[in-house]
Amino acid sequence: DPKVYGNTASCYTKTDAMPEVLKDTKKCIELYPTFYKGCTRKGAILFVSKECDKARERVFLSELQWKK
């Protein structure tokens, strides 16, 4: 279930376990590409880790998927 990965990513965010957040958001998005929480969590974590271009791309691309 992709929501499980999204929820564990949220928990990891609170403990600053960034590699785990990225791993779980990636799996969440792989299973459910239009699940907005997975996309926004990944975008937020990339932004915090100073990867703003990747964050913008992640959120923008997910927005395009929702419009299909």
| CATH code for residues 2-66 | 1.25.40.10
Helix 36-48 / helix 52-66 crossing angle, nearest 10 deg? 170
Alpha-carbon distance 16 to 23, whole Å? 13
DSSP-derived secondary structure letter, 23: H
Q: pLDDT tens digit string along 22-60? A: 899 989 988 988 888 888 888 788 777 777 677 666 665
Q: What's the pTM value of the predicted model, to 2 decimals?
A: 0.71
pLDDT at 46: 78
Alpha-carbon distance 33 to 26, whole Å? 9
pLDDT at 4: 93
Residue 10's Cβ-count burial label (10 Å; 0-12, 13-18, 19+) is middle
Does residue 8 or residue 45 have the better pLDDT?
A: 8
Q: pLDDT tens digit string along 53-64? A: 776 666 656 555
